[in-house]
Amino acid sequence: MPLRAEPLLSERSVRGRRGVRYPRPARLPADHELPAHLRRRALRLPELSELDVVRHYTRLSQKNFGVDTHFIPLGSCTMKYNPKLNDRLSFLPGFQNLHPLTTQEALQGILELFFELEKWLCELCGMDAFTLQPAAGAHGELAGILIARAYHRSRKESARVEVLIPDSAHGTNPASAALGGFTVIPIRSNTRGRVDLEDFKSKLGPRTALVMLTVPNTLGLFEDEILEIARLGHEAGALLYLDGANLNALMGILKPGELGFDLLHLNLHKTFSIPHGGGGPGGGPLGVRKSLEDFLPMPRVVREKGAYRLRENSKKTIGRIRSFFGNVGALVRAYAYIRSLGGTGLRQVSETAVLHANYLRVRLRKEFPSFVDEPCMHECVLQAVGPSWNGVKTQDVAKRLLDFGFYAPTIYFPLIVPEALMIEPTETESKQTLDEFIEAMRQIAQEAQSCPERLRAAPHHTHVRRVDEVQAARKPNLRWGRGEGGGGL
């Protein structure tokens, strides 16, 4: 805790104080300044020394939670440790300074990396081709949806306008389907947290374009009737799409292609350890079966006579979905991650991730029962319900965890679970950390009985206390400065 209230940058401001002043070059180009009418006269920015600014931003960064400082058991989003090796490799000047408009001869190195990365992803997923362009999971979904649309149109099956999506799905699934012009038909989950087969059958038909599933699903459970679902879906003429955000449970253990999926996206920034949060930059490659390959976005990397080339034309392509080649820095990191672990290492990642989730699930069983009390995969969905909770909500548990130095799990998701806490420990945490987390969770369950008020007012030890989230969403205050209408910097 700070000993005294920290002044705002504006309060430290001293007129005329500067950080650095570089000498003016002897000769300035004639147009070195913006025309006067485009310039604002009074910016009223704080005037500070370089040291003031460095301290301010360093302190701000220390108030934050990140994987490099805290355990982030955020379910669905796989916040694992991002090995520094991957950063180092992506910062190599040959990658970092490469211009996307340079000649294809000069691009040979990065094209080879793309080509090899695509092959690795195909091998891991049992797919025939990948596009590396999508910048995130939701972007991969949209590419997949557009491919499904183009595929059905090419077969003169334009009446297929519906996408079936389980009610436990991530919100991006229905959003992507709707954006692609489809009607979303929700499928009910059964009491075991899986797709209700009868409900699925009743909604499947000649209007179904796509069945969009998540395996393991957002409850961290394996969809154990998947072979039957795939058979029925194909029989009805639909394509089967996998939201592959949960690949962290499957690597080296199971290839989604062998379950019958026709197309899938991955989240490189989740499974393949690319730093994420705050919106990117990530990677959401889309993999497809041979029969869909011609629909992939252009350009594609091909190898001819020992050299790599970008193929730009294809009759059936859905077109470009991203400038240049995608988030190249993210792709280099994913490639480095895969190559440094190899096939055996990746399998070990998934096995350990599953083991850790089950360890937490079982050791927390008494205080936080699972929504479905069965072995889970890489994440578990627990609940804070029952009379012993004294009206304390999951939200309060999440806030109190911050006081113990843990980031909050995903809460109130999936939507079908009341008072849900979705916990994904990942493979990169040690047993000590998991035990400390379990201890904190148990203490919180105790506090719900002995002093529920403390939980309702949590967090108590963070720089920012409980915020009014409804107000923050409805009336966001984004202005700089303290006082009326100001957010404070």
Which residues make up the interface to ligand PLP (CB under 6 A)? 76-77, 136-138, 170, 172, 214, 218, 243, 245, 267, 282, 284
Q: Which is nearer to ligand PLP, 48 or 266 (CB)?
A: 266
| Inter-CA distances, 431 with 35, 74, 183, 352, 355, Å | 61, 17, 45, 11, 11
Whole-number minimum distance, CB 218 to ligand PLP, in Å?
6
- Nearest-approach distance from CB 357 to ligand PLP, in angstroms: 15
Based on CB atoms, which residue is closest to ligand PLP, 77 or 125? 77
Give the 3-state secondary structure of residue 271.
helix
Q: Which is nearer to ligand PLP, 267 or 395 (CB)?
A: 267
From CA 288, how far away is CA 130, in angstroms rounded? 6
What is the total residue count of the chain? 489
Closest chain position to ligand PLP (CB): 137
Q: Which token pair is 208?
A: 């179904």
Sheet containing strand 380-383, edge to edge, reads 380-383, 420-423, 410-411
Minimum CB separation of residue 399 from ligand PLP in Å reads 23
- Provide the sign of the torsion angle of the four alpha carbons 61, 66, 68, 70, taken in this order: positive
The closest alpha carbon to 48, from 10, 91, 1, belongs to 10
User: Minimum Å distance from CB 241 to ligand PLP?
Assistant: 11
Closer to ligand PLP by Cβ: residue 107 or 146: 146
Closest approach of Cβ 279 to ligand PLP, in Å? 8
Residue whose CB is less far from ligand PLP, 9 or 169: 169
- Least distance CB 187 / ligand PLP (angstroms): 16
From the list 437, 432, 435, the residue with the least C-alpha distance to 404 is 437
Of 135 and 384, the one with the shorter C-beta distance to ligand PLP is 135
Asked if 241 contacts 209 with a C-beta cutoff of 8 angstroms, the reply is no
The alpha carbon torsion through 422, 426, 432, 435 (nearest 10 deg) reads 20
User: Residue 391 in 3-state DSSP?
Assistant: coil
Shortest separation between residue 284's beta carbon and ligand PLP, angstroms:
6
**CA separation, residue 98 to residues 93, 111, 182, 331, 366 (Å):** 8, 12, 39, 14, 55
Cβ closer to ligand PLP: 140 or 252?
A: 140
